[in-house]
């Protein structure tokens, strides 16, 4: 099963993608997590990506598309995957479609997690992220067992550099301009599914699991 998670920054794509990955035993691939791992490891790609991410802008397609294509060609992707944060532009979606159709494959579901802009800033300011394993928490809605420490790997949790309110506003405007058109793109392809992302996390997941089937 090949699934794309769509939605504004902070809509809960990563939270839901983790749950889907666990239930359906397919990898969760987040381009944001891949960039953050590169930043942490001080790679050339990480240095380039950071300059865009810190400003709330998209990393250019030429740095993003090949990276994603290499990742989905790995053996663990044979049974499918969940893409979280990719595609983010129409050209990225077209590249993905071309690569898949050349292998006789296609996207099965594009799940759009809908959350109004007014809820997003509150979610982002309470988010805490683990830069070691990519896990995400929220101080009010999904707190770790021990404050400031990742339940999964024991590393410190941080407020992401791009989660400051000014940067979140920029990310939202970039989302509306460059990423929201993908909703129509996947609607036309007949694979779009919408879920209400303002509900509690487990309810959102139950709604997604109903769409995806057992």
In the complex, the residues that contact Zn ion under the rule CB under 5 A are 130, 132-133, 135, 150, 152-153, 155
Is the distance from CB of 92 to CB of 86 less than 8 angstroms?
A: yes
Annotation marks residue 123 as catalytic? no
Annotation marks residue 160 as catalytic? yes
Peptide bond into 43 cis (omega under 30): no
2-6 vs 81-84, strand pairing mode: parallel
Asked if residue 77 belongs to a known ligand binding site, the reply is no
Out of ligand AP5, Zn ion, none, what residue 123 binds, judged by CB under 5 to 8 A for its kind, is ligand AP5
- Among 19, 127, 128, 193, the one annotated catalytic: 127
CB neighbourhood size of 184 (10 A): 11
- The alpha carbon torsion through 118, 16, 46, 9 (nearest 10 deg) reads -10
Residue window 171-200: x/- pattern of binding to ligand AP5, with contact defined by CB under 6 A: x-------------------------x--x
- Among 2, 19, 128, 171, the one annotated catalytic: 171
Q: Which residue in the block uniquely carries the two structure tokens 């050349």?
A: 102
Vertex 121: Cα angle to 117 and 122 (nearest 5): 115
Instruction: Decide: is 35 part of the binding site for ligand AP5 (CB under 6 A).
Output: yes
Tokens of 56: 């709330």
- Among 48, 50, 71, 160, the one annotated catalytic: 160
Binding site for ligand AP5 (CB under 6 A): 7, 9-15, 30-32, 35, 52-53, 56-59, 64, 85-86, 88, 92, 123, 126-127, 136-138, 141-142, 162, 171, 197, 200-201, 204
Catalytic site positions: 13, 88, 127, 160, 171
């Amino acid at each position: 099963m090949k699934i794309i998670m769509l939605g504004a920054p902070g809509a809960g794509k990563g939270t839901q993608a983790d749950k889907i990955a666990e239930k359906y035993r397919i990898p969760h691939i987040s381009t944001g997590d891949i960039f953050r791992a590169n930043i942490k490891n001080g790679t050339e790609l990480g240095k380039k990506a950071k300059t865009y991410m810190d400003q709330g802008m998209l990393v250019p397609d030429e740095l993003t598309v090949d990276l994603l294509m290499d990742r989905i060609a790995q053996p663990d992707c044979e049974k499918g995957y969940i893409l979280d944060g990719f595609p983010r532009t129409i050209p990225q979606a077209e590249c993905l479609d071309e690569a898949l159709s050349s292998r006789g494959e296609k996207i099965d579901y594009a799940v759009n997690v809908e959350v109004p802009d007014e809820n997003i800033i509150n979610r982002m300011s309470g988010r805490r992220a683990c830069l070691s394993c990519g896990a995400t928490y929220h101080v009010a809605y999904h707190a770790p067992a021990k404050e400031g420490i990742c339940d999964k790997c024991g590393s410190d949790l941080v407020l992401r550099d791009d989660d400051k309110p000014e940067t979140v506003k920029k990310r939202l405007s970039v989302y509306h301009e460059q990423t929201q058109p993908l909703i129509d793109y996947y609607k036309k392809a007949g694979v779009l599914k919408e879920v209400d992302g303002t509900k509690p996390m487990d309810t959102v997941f139950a709604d997604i699991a109903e769409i995806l089937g057992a």
